[in-house]
Amino acid sequence: MPHSRPVYQFNNIIVRTPAQSVVNGLRADDKGDPTYAGITAEHEAYVKAMQNAGVKVTVLPALEEFPDSIFVEDPALVFTDGAIMLRPGDQTRLREAAKIAPTLREMFDTVLELSGDGFADGGDILVTPDSVMIGLSGRTNQAGAEALQACLSKLGRKSEIVKTPEGVLHFKTASSLLDDETVISTATLARSGVFDRFKQVIVPDGDEPAANALRVNDVVMVGAQFPRTIEMLDKLGYKVVPLNTAEIGKIDAGLSCMSLRWFSEK
């Protein structure tokens, strides 16, 4: 079976050191500027938590000209069998893909590229055991999603195109996989029915950003500012690792955004 390993089993990740310019990162609403020191501290704690979870971390250098380049999840998608270069949907982020490409070409034998001029951000892609869900959003359009589906088929992956709720940055801003059959999401996204085939856990009202949790091997990383979600997952038997995301939250980011994760058989 090509995909019998859990999709949340990883032994490698790529992260990128935050640039000083990260304080100017994109955001939909003004929640105040994050501080560079605050973001750096959150990033360092994230790297340590990943190492504790059993993952080898490759750290790429900061890119001052790209404030949001710390969010390496958006310009690419990686699997055991190969990597896909994406086309981020915000003009200020589009060239991040070319910046990360040389690293991916070194680390993966197969590196595919989206054809055409559509857009797709990694934050809109939720990998589940039976299918890769691609959320249409302000960053991912139909052309990008279809071009991505063509690349996914080449890697032997089934996929489906779904919708991200209005006003939500990315599909995974509002959802995450907890185990082989369970998804955590916001009530709004759950109501759309996209996760009807899964067991579902809904974040409490007011904890919406906590839906961008991150399952890595045995642990689920969750924003430390969301004690109600943490308690709920703890009671459900998940091994929760709380990580502070208050500063990156000011630029609309969460836990999945800061890494590209895969299982390497090499």
Residues that bind ligand CIR (CB under 6 A): 25-27, 68, 71, 73-74, 90, 93, 122-123, 169-170, 172-173, 251-254, 256-257
Smallest separation (angstroms) from ligand CIR to the CB of 123: 3
Residue type, 164: T
Distance CA 211, CA 205 (A): 11
Smaller CB separation from ligand CIR, 119 or 195 = 119
Single-letter amino acid code for the residue at 80: T
Q: Minimum distance between the CB of residue 97 and ligand CIR, rounded to whole angstroms?
A: 13
Closer by beta carbon to ligand CIR, 145 or else 181: 145
Q: 104 vs 156, which CB is nearer to ligand CIR?
A: 104
Catalytic residue among 3, 43, 151, 257: 257
Q: Of 218, 174, 239, 175, whose CA–CA distance to 11 is shortest?
A: 218
Q: State the maximum Cα–Cα separation within the chain, in Å, rounded to a whole number.
A: 48
> Length of the chain, please?
266
Alpha-carbon distance of 73 to 256, in angstroms, equals: 7
Q: Residue with the closest Cβ to ligand CIR?
A: 123
Between 122 and 242, name the residue whose CB sits nearer to ligand CIR: 122
Does the annotation count 3 as an active-site position? no
As a dihedral over the C-alpha atoms of residue 105, residue 107, residue 108, residue 109, rounded to 10 degrees, the angle is 80
Instruction: State whether the Cα torsion 143-147-152-157 is positive or negative.
Output: positive
Q: How far is the CB of 237 from ligand CIR (least distance, A)?
A: 27
Cβ at position 119, least distance to ligand CIR in Å? 12
Catalytic residue status for 257: yes
The catalytic residues are: 170, 257
